[in-house]
Structure 1
């Protein structure tokens, strides 16, 4: 899935670095010329004082019920409030569900936005698009994931790729739509590196860090010499976008495969077993731990999919009828795993002094219906749901916005996907009034016109 960038040091006659040339070669498919790229780079789109900022996006695939997790309505009728009790957190006046007791102990470190909504269809993949890119795809234009935008504007800062998805991209969502976890019109050069492995499994290895079984040392050395030849000859073929892209891919793949730094970052065996146990020895828990290691090693953006599809496993998609689970099943199956891993991640980042520079945002494609359905579950509801944010300049222990008495629509401070994207970009130091090179080279606003960050969080 990933197409890497190179990091050569040669410069062209107009002062562009070789990295600039390789980058624009990879973007040629969208009509971006070298002068346009250099102009975008120097346009003030990036606040260099926030270069060390990173983001971990936890995407709660399936969509948690706001009424049974973070926006309890204890005074509402039973068919609205559901079966769970509200409990106090360590922040006075903020309550959450009893099924998330570890969240309650770290609530001073994150803040809720209880008035999220969107106008897309109530299907999973439409919500996936909107919440990860800030827009619903239309007119054949696939908007890039927030991580792809960060990858394009800020680039890599280590041997590791700038944007990583754990454990792998989302699968089917039911609407037969793109899921939003790609580079979109920025091109495949900005697609994320996908782990494609379960880090909780014994003897976990990253496939792309291992040379193919039939590639010995001599062959690797030959490929390295080939790369050096390419470096020396860059000025002879730099007019060829295809050659630039191939060279870029090869260099970065070689760097990953031969980098001790990359191997170290992905090696969970370096963690004490008690730390691994604190996160939970399951796929999501170990992905959360791995995300911390990757950010430490220089990855700028990590997206963790709590689940991979709503069809083949139990998720937050609590319709009640089989093969889905019920509200009660969420308490027994999904919530304990999620509660343990998230609280461990927040505590770990805080203890290591990383939280101030690491935005952790917890998103979902929509919420759930205000009333419990006859099967004991709740159905899709994009009209109102809760997201929450920690670190990266966010002040913890707050609630932004509010829903109506049954959690059905925003009653105060409505927030939509454009505001979510703007908030992520603002935290990472991107100028939300800047533009990307869109299809056919036309300027494309980083966020929808008029959308601003959720300023109350900062």
Structure 2
């Protein structure tokens, strides 16, 4: 029986992976030996999976780029303007037409207005937690933080795993590239007692599932990704020797007689990545045509998005691009909201996101890459007197989706007349996480086991099936 998420059951991670529930799938050469299914049953399940992918987007995405606009962008000044509201609510910005008839967005998103035919704008994101750190955890994991409503609790081993960690667990990578990458830093807030936000690592799955972290500015002339390439004095031949030794140690009949179960495979993957020219090349954004780099914008956000495109092209499953450490409170515009938005925040966000969509489409990758633009919450409808700021507001805010079968030129949900509360179809961060997993071919109802063997459901939200064409 099909459940409300469009799934055909509650199979574990390996079960879904073996049944080929993704567009590219695993039903290729050798699949029969991997599944143990009879040929008629195998074909029946593959046909069901392909039908599901066509109908509601399940498994259509090979990769996802999650653009995390850390700090909380104002919904009224970006995706959901209210030009008929009083001046102390609508703010200073005008609106512009998009390529979607009847849909207007902020005048400071002109390039994205021209890309609206590829976007599904969500105007009914909603939850009730106004704290940065705990809501970052919720957006990045699809679960409440261990300490909700808190800016005092930093990362812990009790955190829920990052969505990329869940993907690595449920859909392990077959190549040398990591399944999840986070860049250009791990988000933190100087005004939050807890400092760094929870939910950015493997959580209770363990450090072996931490997303690969990139720290630094890809726009800098001397940008390099730490941890790639061979250390000084170590030749490729010596690396091969180390790999052979490592494989022998993993083999029950090898040099040590140790059980293969004593190794988790991450050491071997790390050795492979160090020696892989493919892996190193994917991280070298300087190899891009200068004209393409210019199109994204020669700034840290634009070049991070360009690097994200290179990584998904090389096989990374989920790349999280966090708004960078700008030293200016990110999108947290408690004061001088309008000058910060129009001069500092919106131009690079507009240029980078629009260029990413154009580039993915030109390369034939947009159909298999889900792109998600979201912050942890929105801003208050009423402008703060005296400093022209907007405060934290989780009750209603906006996000945007594109690619991987998402129906472009659409708006999902609606806010009320002041963008204060959803008027219809509220969407939680859990639902957004469920949608990401769903598109990547991971059933949100999948259960995985924590360190003490408890079965835990990877997501309890409901994927937004109707956003898929």
User: TM-score higher than 0.5 here?
Assistant: yes
Aligned residue for 1:118, secondary structure, equals coil
Distance 1:341 1:237, change over 3 A: farther
Q: Deviations over 1:433-456 (max 9, x none)?
A: 2212135211111222xx321122
How far apart, CA to CA, are the structure 1 residues paired with 2:306 and 2:399? 21
Match of 1:190 in 2: 209
Contact 1:209 1:263 in 2 (8 A): yes
Distance 1:217 1:434, change over 3 A: closer
Match of 2:143 in 1: 135
- The answer to whether 1:339 aligns with 2:350 is yes
Q: Where does 1:111-260 land on structure 2 (aligned, <5 Å)?
A: 111-120=120-129, 122-138=130-146, 141-172=158-189, 174-176=192-194, 178-215=197-234, 219-220=238-239, 222-233=241-252, 239=259, 243-245=262-264, 248-260=265-277
Shift of 1:302: 0.3
Distance 1:299 1:217, change over 3 A: closer
Shift of 1:367: 0.3
Q: Deviations over 1:377-428 (max 9, x none)?
A: 1011111100110011211111111111111111111111121111111111
Match of 1:31 in 2: none
Equivalent in 93, 109, 117 of residue 100 of structure 1 = 109
- The answer to whether 1:425 aligns with 2:432 is no
Contact 1:50 1:428 in 2 (8 A): no
Contact 1:157 1:298 in 2 (8 A): no
Shift of 1:271: 1.0
Shift of 1:255: 1.1
Shift of 1:228: 4.2
Contact 1:169 1:181 in 2 (8 A): yes
Unpaired runs of 5+ residues, structure 2, are 1-10, 26-60, 148-156
How far apart, CA to CA, are the structure 1 residues paired with 2:115 and 2:95? 16
Q: Where does 1:224-303 land on structure 2 (aligned, <5 Å)?
A: 224-233=243-252, 239=259, 243-245=262-264, 248-303=265-320
Give the 4+ runs in structure 1 shifted more than 6 A.
none
Match of 1:7 in 2: none
Shift of 1:46: 6.5
Tell me the C-alpha RMSD between the 2 structures. Answer: 2.2
Match of 1:441 in 2: 453
Aligned residue for 1:67, secondary structure, equals coil
Equivalent in 22, 29, 41 of residue 14 of structure 2 = 41
Match of 2:49 in 1: none
Contact 1:47 1:431 in 2 (8 A): no
Unpaired runs of 5+ residues, structure 1, are 1-37
Equivalent in 395, 402, 411 of residue 399 of structure 1 = 411
Match of 1:348 in 2: 359
What number of residue pairs does the alignment pair up?
Answer: 409
TM-score by length of 1: 0.84
Contact 1:157 1:299 in 2 (8 A): no
Contact 2:369 2:404 in 1 (8 A): yes
Shift of 1:234: 6.3
Distance 1:263 1:439, change over 3 A: closer
Aligned residue for 2:100, secondary structure, equals coil
Q: Deviations over 1:147-167 (max 9, x none)?
A: 111111111132111100111
Contact 2:380 2:391 in 1 (8 A): yes
